């Protein structure tokens, strides 16, 4: 049966390849620091299921030290000439979107179809994580489509993937770090503390007030944490489950779905979500590093209001 560990290993192998390429790249002024960072993350992904939580935590802290003190390096060697890229863009035009659109297409098809695929009476895919596994398959299919369409050698995916990963740097693993931090906060009882603070100020009796508090809290806590996955366990444990689900008998699936969307509104509005908001500004060489956030902020506010209205409309009716 194919499960999440398979995706972890594949991701870890890619990180390992990035580490090896960096280690032998003399044009990277901090090649060994970069190689160590991606190598440690590769070890965690590949062997995490076999090691103790303490050892995995030590490796995470070691990778944080490598990134925090001195930062990671980036190769100064060009991988593709800009002229070649412009020529390719002019040649393929909108067809360049085909590999990108392949990812969601395969994900949707796989999410629906994989649950019906059995071999020897056993499901081929772990049914608890069908969507994530389908997403991984979508990425692999999109890679194959891109290589065939662009007529490139497979090793190009490693060199270009390494270039992009080095450009993004440590922010590439920020979502995982923040999601883990959210889990730690929930285990430490931060959700209960947040609930006590909010209930001391906001009367949590009217359904509209409760749902608005949950949605706005998801957005604000995401702004602080930088990731909706980090905010979700805290706000759901503190507000969502005790008030919306238990007291007001709301639908937990609808609450969780719209709650996450509310959190993503906060992602659009915070520099803490560096991989989404700060890195693109750096890649595009924008003079204002907060330019992406300034453009996204009106959309974030409109979507947050829409989520609050949808939560009130749906969560207590289905």
- For residues 258 and 210, give the distance between their C-alpha atoms in angstroms, rounded to a whole number: 14
Would you state the pLDDT for residue 81? 57
Reported confidence tier of residue 198, pLDDT bands at 50, 70, 90: confident
CB 211 within 8 A of CB 244: yes
Would you state the pLDDT for residue 78? 63
**Token pair belonging to 93:** 């035009």
Instruction: Assign 3-class secondary structure to 107-146.
Output: HHHHHHHHHHCEECCEECECHHHHHHHHHHHHHHHHHHHH
Reported confidence tier of residue 159, pLDDT bands at 50, 70, 90: confident
Strands (E), the chain: 118-119, 122-123
Mean pLDDT score across all residues of the chain: 85
Reported confidence tier of residue 311, pLDDT bands at 50, 70, 90: very high
Most confident of 4-8, 190-194, 204-208: 4-8
Dihedral angle computed from the Cα positions of residues 175, 177, 178 and 180, in that order, rounded to the nearest 10 degrees: 120
**Token pair belonging to 106:** 């395969």
Which 8-state DSSP code applies to residue 73?
Answer: -
Q: Which of 103-112, 136-145, 147-156, 259-268 has the lowest mean pLDDT?
A: 147-156
CB 168 within 8 A of CB 137: no
């Amino acid at each position: 049966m194919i499960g999440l560990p398979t995706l972890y290993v594949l991701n870890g192998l890619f990180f390992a390849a990035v580490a090896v390429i960096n280690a032998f790249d003399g044009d990277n002024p901090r090649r060994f620091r970069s190689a160590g960072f991606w190598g440690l993350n590769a070890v965690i992904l590949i062997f995490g299921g076999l090691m103790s939580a303490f050892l995995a935590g030590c490796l995470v802290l070691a990778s944080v030290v490598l990134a925090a003190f001195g930062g990671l390096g980036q190769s100064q060697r060009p991988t593709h000439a800009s002229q070649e890229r412009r020529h390719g863009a002019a040649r393929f035009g909108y067809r360049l979107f085909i590999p990108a659109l392949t990812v969601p297409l395969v994900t949707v098809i796989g999410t629906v179809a994989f649950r019906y695929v059995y071999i020897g009476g056993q499901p081929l895919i772990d049914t608890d994580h069908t969507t994530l596994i389908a997403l991984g398959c979508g990425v692999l299919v999109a890679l194959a489509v891109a290589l065939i369409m662009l007529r490139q050698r497979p090793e190009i995916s490693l060199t270009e993937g390494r270039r992009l990963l080095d450009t993004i740097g440590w922010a590439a693993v920020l979502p995982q770090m923040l999601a883990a931090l959210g889990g730690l906060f929930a285990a430490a009882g931060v959700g209960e503390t947040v609930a006590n603070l909010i209930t001391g100020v906001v009367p949590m009796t009217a359904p509209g007030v409760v749902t608005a508090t949950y949605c706005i809290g998801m957005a604000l806590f995401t702004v602080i944490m930088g990731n909706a996955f980090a905010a979700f366990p805290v706000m759901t444990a503190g507000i969502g489950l005790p008030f919306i689900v238990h007291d007001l008998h709301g639908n937990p699936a609808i609450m969780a779905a719209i709650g996450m969307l509310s959190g993503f509104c906060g992602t659009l509005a915070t520099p803490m979500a560096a991989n989404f908001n700060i890195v693109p500004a750096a890649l595009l060489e924008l003079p204002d590093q907060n330019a992406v956030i300034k453009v996204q902020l009106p959309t974030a506010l409109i979507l947050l209001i829409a989520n609050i209205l949808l939560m009130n409309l749906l969560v207590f009716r289905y």
